[in-house]
C-alpha cells in the first residue's frame, strides 16, 4: 500500500541518505498532536538541546506542549486565561501561547513541517536537488527556513520588504545565502506580489513552492495538533470549573491554517468559528481591499485551505487597535497603568510578552465575539497567540512616533485601554448565513481558478465536509510513510 504513495523512488533514496547523514529522525503527526507518545529516548535527547539550536532533535518540540522555558515538556499547553480586568467582559478569553515553539518562537514552524515532510517521505522533494520556497508575510517563511536547515536542504524565504525588522534579522542569521531572502514590494497586504515572485521562481524546476495558502496539510495539522491542544487546555480549565462551556474559537484568517483548529473544536463542542481580518482590508466581510499593519494575517484573497462553509462569523479589527495595544502592553508606562489602575497581577503582566500584533488582533476579536453572543461567566472563547511581542520592538517604536509623538504616559494608556478594550464593540462583525458563506467561497474563484489555473471541479469540491475529512485522513496516512522513512534511515534502532 505504501509503495503506491511513492512518486519518485530515487528521490526518496537520496532523501533517506541525506537524513541518515544529518542524523534526522522525523516525528509523526500523531506524536506532534500527542507529545507523550514521543519515544522516551528521543524526548530525553531533545532535552539536552537548546530550543533555538539548528539541531534536528528540535523537530520533536514542534508542538504546543513545550513549557514556558521552551525546553521542558508541559502536561497542558501553556496558556493564559485573561482576567475580566484586562478584557472588560465576564466570559473567559483563553489564549494558547505560540511563542513557546522552538526555533522561531511562533506556531508557523509546525505548519512548515507539515507542508514539507509529506513531500519528503513520498519522494516528491529531493533535498539534494530541490530548494524549498516559502512564500509568507513573516513567520511561515522563518519556520520554513528553519525546517529546511534541519532537514539538510536549502530554504528560500519570500516576504514583503515592509515587514518588521526583527523578522529580517532572524532570517539573515539562518539562511545559507543572503540571496535566499527574497523581498517583494509592499507590506502585509501585498500577497499578490508574493505570488507573482513565486511564479517566477517556479520556472526553475529545482524550486518547489510550498504555498501555505494552498497546502491542505497546513489545515490538517492545525485540525489534528492545534485543535487537540486547545481541547486539552479547555478541559484542564473545565476540570476546575465543571460548568464551563467552550462557545467559540477565534483566529485571524492569515493562511487559514489555524482556522482548521476551529473545525476540530466545532466537532467536539459545537462551538462557533470566527475568522478575523483587518478592518483596513475587509476581504471576507465586505469584499474589500486596502493596506494594514497587523503583520502575519495576509489578505485580499480567500485562501484555498479556508473551509469557508464551516466558518460562522467574520469580523474585522483595526490596525490602529493592534498598534496602540502593542504600545500599551509592551511598554513600562503601559504595564504600570495595567498593574496600578486595572490591578493585573504579575503573572498576567508577564504574559503580555507573548502577544504579537496578530495575537492582539485575536484577543480583540475574541472580546467582540463574546459581546455579540452575550457570553458570561460560564462561557469560554478560545484563541491563540501566534507569536510574541519580541518580533515587534521596531513596530512599537513606529507606533509611538505615530500615535504618541510627545510621550506615552498614564493618561495615554487609559485612552488606549478605553478605546480598544472597553470600547471593542460588535460593529464590523457579521454572523454568516449560508448565502454569506457562498459569497465568500465564490470570491476565491478569481484567485485559484482564474489566476492559478486550479481545475474548477477541485475548487468546487471544497464545499463538501467530506473533502476536508479526506485531507485530514491523508495526513494521518502520512505517518505510515514517516515510520517507514525513519526505519530506513536507521538513525534510531
On whether residue 373 sits in a domain, the answer given is: yes
Lowest mean pLDDT among 241-255, 281-295, 321-335: 281-295
pLDDT for res 267: 98
pLDDT for res 346: 95
Query: Same structural domain for residues 108 and 240?
Result: no
Query: Same structural domain for residues 324 and 382?
Result: yes
Does residue 166 contact residue 142 with C-beta atoms inside 8 Å? no
Q: Tell me whether strands 313-317 and 272-278 are parallel, antiparallel or unpaired.
A: parallel
Q: Tell me whether strands 379-385 and 245-252 are parallel, antiparallel or unpaired.
A: parallel
Lowest mean pLDDT among 66-80, 291-305, 473-487: 291-305
What residue numbers bound the domain in which 274 lies?
79-100+217-435
Pick the last residue of a domain from 435, 453, 478. 435
Pick the last residue of a domain from 186, 216, 246. 216
Average of per-residue pLDDT values in the chain: 95
On whether residue 475 sits in a domain, the answer given is: no
Confidence of residue 4 (pLDDT cuts 50, 70, 90): low
Q: Is 395 left (phi over 0), alpha (psi -120 to 50) or beta?
A: alpha
Confidence of residue 298 (pLDDT cuts 50, 70, 90): low
pLDDT for res 162: 87
Residue 285: which CATH number?
3.40.50.1100
On whether residue 461 sits in a domain, the answer given is: no
Torsion angles phi and psi, residue 94, rounded to 5:
-105, 125
Q: Considering its fold, how many domains does the chain have in total?
A: 2
Confidence of residue 2 (pLDDT cuts 50, 70, 90): very low
pLDDT for res 471: 96
Share of the chain above pLDDT 70, in %: 99
Query: Same structural domain for residues 354 and 270?
Result: yes
Query: Same structural domain for residues 373 and 426?
Result: yes
Lowest mean pLDDT among 166-175, 195-204, 298-307, 426-435: 298-307
User: Per residue in 31-88, pLDDT tens?
Assistant: 999 999 999 999 999 999 999 999 999 999 999 999 999 999 999 999 999 999 999 9
pLDDT at 1 over 50: no
Query: Same structural domain for residues 35 and 180?
Result: yes
pLDDT at 299 over 80: no
On whether residue 388 sits in a domain, the answer given is: yes
- Whole-structure pTM value: 0.96
Average pLDDT over residues 103-119: 97
Query: Same structural domain for residues 230 and 355?
Result: yes
Q: Among residues 261, 334, 257, which one has the least CA distance to residue 96?
A: 261
pLDDT for res 191: 81
Query: Same structural domain for residues 147 and 274?
Result: no
On whether residue 468 sits in a domain, the answer given is: no
Query: Same structural domain for residues 250 and 326?
Result: yes
On whether residue 446 sits in a domain, the answer given is: no
Query: Same structural domain for residues 9 and 134?
Result: yes
Query: Same structural domain for residues 23 and 83?
Result: no
Question: Which residue reads 531572502 in cell numbers?
Answer: 181
C-alpha cell at position 81: 486565561
- CA-CA-CA-CA dihedral for 53, 57, 63, 68, to nearest 10: -50
Q: Among residues 189, 187, 184, 186, which one has the least CA distance to residue 133?
A: 184
Average pLDDT over residues 411-426: 97
The residues with which 381 forms a beta bridge, in sequence order, are: 93, 248
On whether residue 341 sits in a domain, the answer given is: yes
Residue 358 CA to residue 486 CA, distance in Å, equals 36
On whether residue 449 sits in a domain, the answer given is: no
Kindly list the distances between the CA atom of residue 461 and the CA atoms of 355, 433, 458, 471, in Å, as whole numbers in the listed order: 36, 20, 5, 12
Query: Same structural domain for residues 211 and 222?
Result: no
pLDDT for res 7: 85
pLDDT for res 330: 97
Q: What is the DSSP string of 377-441?
A: TTEEEEEEE-B-GGGGHHHHHHHHHHH-SS---HHHHHHHHIIIIIT--S-SEEEPPHHHHHHHH
Query: Same structural domain for residues 259 and 337?
Result: yes
User: Per residue in 455-472, pLDDT tens?
Assistant: 999 999 999 999 999 999
User: Per residue in 168-185, pLDDT tens?
Assistant: 999 999 998 999 999 999
pLDDT for res 463: 98
Pick the last residue of a domain from 216, 238, 263. 216
Amino acid at each position: 500500500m505504501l509503495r503506491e504513495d511513492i512518486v519518485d523512488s530515487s528521490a526518496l533514496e537520496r532523501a533517506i541518505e541525506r537524513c541518515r547523514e544529518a542524523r534526522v529522525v522525523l516525528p509523526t503527526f500523531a506524536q506532534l498532536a500527542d507529545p507523550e507518545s514521543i519515544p522516551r529516548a528521543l524526548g530525553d535527547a531533545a532535552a539536552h538541546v537548546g530550543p533555538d539550536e539548528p539541531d534536528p532533535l528540535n523537530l520533536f518540540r514542534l508542538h504546543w506542549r513545550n513549557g514556558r522555558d521552551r525546553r521542558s515538556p508541559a502536561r497542558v499547553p501553556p496558556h493564559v486565561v485573561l482576567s475580566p480586568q484586562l478584557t472588560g467582559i465576564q466570559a473567559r478569553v483563553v489564549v494558547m501561547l505560540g511563542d513557546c515553539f522552538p526555533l522561531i518562537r511562533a506556531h508557523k514552524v509546525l505548519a512548515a513541517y507539515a507542508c514539507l515532510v509529506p513531500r519528503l517521505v513520498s519522494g516528491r522533494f529531493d533535498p539534494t536537488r530541490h530548494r524549498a520556497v516559502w512564500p509568507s508575510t513573516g513567520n511561515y517563511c522563518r519556520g520554513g527556513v528553519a525546517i529546511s536547515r534541519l532537514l539538510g536542504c536549502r530554504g528560500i524565504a519570500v516576504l514583503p520588504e515592509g515587514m518588521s525588522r526583527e523578522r529580517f534579522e532572524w532570517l539573515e542569521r539562518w539562511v545559507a545565502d543572503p540571496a535566499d531572502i527574497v523581498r517583494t514590494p509592499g507590506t502585509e497586504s501585498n500577497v499578490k506580489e508574493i505570488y507573482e515572485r513565486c511564479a517566477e521562481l517556479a520556472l526553475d524546476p529545482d524550486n518547489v513552492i510550498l504555498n501555505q495558502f494552498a497546502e491542505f496539510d497546513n489545515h490538517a495539522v492545525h485540525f489534528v495538533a492545534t485543535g487537540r491542544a486547545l481541547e486539552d487546555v479547555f478541559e484542564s480549565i473545565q476540570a476546575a470549573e465543571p460548568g464551563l462551556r467552550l462557545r467559540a474559537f477565534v483566529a485571524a484568517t492569515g493562511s487559514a491554517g489555524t482556522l482548521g483548529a476551529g473545525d476540530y473544536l466545532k466537532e467536539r463542542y459545537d462551538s462557533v468559528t470566527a475568522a478575523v481580518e483587518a478592518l483596513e482590508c475587509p476581504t471576507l466581510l465586505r469584499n474589500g481591499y486596502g493596506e494594514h499593519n497587523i503583520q502575519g494575517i495576509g489578505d485580499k484573497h480567500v485562501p484555498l485551505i479556508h473551509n469557508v462553509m464551516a466558518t460562522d462569523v467574520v469580523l474585522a479589527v483595526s490596525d490602529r487597535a493592534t498598534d496602540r495595544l502593542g504600545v500599551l502592553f509592551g511598554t513600562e508606562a503601559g504595564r504600570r497603568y495595567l498593574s496600578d489602575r486595572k490591578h493585573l497581577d504579575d503573572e498576567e503582566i508577564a504574559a503580555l510578552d507573548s502577544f504579537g500584533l496578530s495575537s492582539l488582533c485575536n484577543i480583540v476579536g475574541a472580546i467582540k465575539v463574546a459581546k455579540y453572543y452575550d457570553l458570561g461567566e460560564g462561557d469560554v472563547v478560545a484563541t491563540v497567540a501566534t507569536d510574541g511581542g519580541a518580533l515587534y520592538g521596531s513596530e512599537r517604536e513606529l507606533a509611538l512616533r505615530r500615535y504618541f509623538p510627545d510621550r506615552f504616559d498614564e493618561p495615554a494608556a487609559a485612552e488606549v485601554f478605553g478605546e480598544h478594550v472597553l470600547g471593542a464593540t460588535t460593529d464590523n462583525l457579521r454572523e454568516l448565513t449560508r448565502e454569506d458563506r457562498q459569497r465568500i467561497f465564490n470570491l476565491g474563484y478569481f484567485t485559484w481558478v482564474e489566476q492559478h489555473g486550479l481545475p474548477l471541479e477541485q475548487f468546487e469540491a471544497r464545499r463538501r465536509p467530506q473533502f476536508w475529512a479526506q485531507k485530514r485522513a491523508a495526513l494521518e496516512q502520512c505517518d505510515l510513510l514517516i515510520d517507514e522513512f525513519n526505519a530506513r534511515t536507521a538513525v534510531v534502532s
